Structure 1
């Protein structure tokens, strides 16, 4: 994954998280304000109802204004302008709160003209089953009001807890959001860490493969000199060893070149240089080389191509590489005596090329992963076919760069076929004389 993509993911993730947290904060604050406003309105209605009933019982008239004064968020002063009975006040207050579904504790005090102080009345629980010691005790002092004569004060000590209880769903969703954000942040840290380790691993592989090129070149020169020496050529045993060294050099060099090609494709350093290539000219040498390898294993390679030019707009080097890889796979996994077939047909300005073998085939559950990097079909403890699992990955990368289609068709016990769908290049228009 490129650095720019990682940065975009981080920036977009941070913006998304900030937006979600902002929206959630706004939602929580708005919900709190609505519940707080609802609480204040219900409390004032309940207190007004109590004041009205007390005035009616005393045959007195209510003040024209300032009946209920809110001194703080949870403390109210109620002006009655008539005498107040403590037991009656407590009973009426409980009735009004129940009528308005305001299930909350309260404490009250009545102004005493003789002492010019608030006479504490008591603490009333919303839940009658609670014992007096079940909730925190208060300071039992409520502030008076200097402008009034007959009044009482009501305080709601558990107002904050009551509002939070009304917001249980919002709190639950907020906790879920916090956990989600924390998980996203943790995942982002893990992704960045894994990317750093993958980058270090890739750099190590790149450096290692480049370092191998120098000794391999030396081995190639030494093997060539040995094979051309008259004494070595005259000794069958030494000649066989010289050819063995050179063949192993070619094998190791091919694997290193494949790793380097994969590294270049992932870094975006490779370029597709499209040219007008005739597959009828490019494919036969590859088929002849593959046929020789198949015959060495007592197998057979057959091919059938349309009798016409097959011009493609492609990079000749990469096209040669992917065809070689597909033929190499068919030979390696075609069994002890591989039977490989290459069939091409033209339809709707496309060349449909199929490379088949009669090997053990691939189970359906493994086929979607066949083009993954380093993936090899599990074979238990038997590893009779060597490789890195890079060939088909490279083939898919080149097909993607050319916008070609490739798919696999396989059934266990009936072999495997890889299908390529390549657009044919139209013949260039003749330039009029």
Structure 2
């Protein structure tokens, strides 16, 4: 895939994912805000209904008490009767309607203790209460005419009369007097906690708000005795409504309501949809991350594959060319008769053939090892002897380049359960890398020691070293560090991958430490027997 196209694809996918997540978070936020607004409206209605019921209950109680008291007092202090008359004529039926509306005001002296919730009969102080009743009369007259066309008789044919209290006017008059004197009564004598809780429970349940609440009544911003045990004043979390309002709608008292677990209640109402939304968003994120990872991984594999093919082609090209030249030389009539030259060329063909076969076997070995098809038989192995044997494979090459390989075999115990062939290859691979990646004369030291029940091998070189990025991938299959010319160091990136597989199959551990320009150190830990 083109690099520019790949970057564009990643950017577009990232923007799409960010957009989806942003929309989901906005939707959840809006849902919570809508629920909170709906909750606030319902609570406001609940508070208004509760305060109205409390006020209505109080006025009704005192109104009934006053009516009973009025009936028991007998004679009133003074009275005033005013009448309103109204005459109407019906031309179709020749009827005249006469309306009479009388209002009777009766004044009573009432003890001030009437407004207290006590049975006291102390009348040292009194107030005047006006009782208003009405008398409504409707009389219908029929007009009769003589032969001369003159009206000569006006007969009443129906009389309707109603005597009783004027509910609206009566209540208004009583309310004004009551509200004026109720101000003198302490708030905790006018309303009980039990009544508030009963009304709040009822109204909240009717509106589907089943959650814990705290309440309190405040007078001009100051707390009163009427409040729940755990009520705390927090202005931003309170709902309030005026209570015991005057005829002008003003009040010194407010009923405050708070919900300690309001946020949990609101979130619970949207948690189902929010959970599904977040779940699907998470699935999209995981799928997106996996897709990006696979794209990057495939791009890396494609590059590694190309490098591997190039390296393997280069590795096979030299021996094939050598074999071809040797065959052509043998075919030469001057050479074919020289047995010594023929044997030398045949030896070259054999060596190059072995070299190609070794490359193929190395690739196949990794493949079989990954599929667990490699037969690794383990026996007791003396690791010091195996290390010496591995060193002998590279001693001539190192000496030819003016370097050295020193063995510091200090471990007291060196017997492990291992396959001597495969583990010999492991040691040779690491030593061979130390030689190949030493730009100058190779300087290699091999140390052994025991740590608890483990046999530890440490192979140090003073070669080119590796960067941290390379060190993380050094044991990956086909991975090779490039330094300009990909053929500057022979190999195909399978050696250390093979090392890691074999060591892990022996229940061991292999890792490396390195610094660019200062060399590398490889550690191998194997369990002792």
Higher strand share: 2
Larger Rg: 2
TM-score (norm 2): 0.42
| TM-score normalized by the length of structure 1 | 0.50
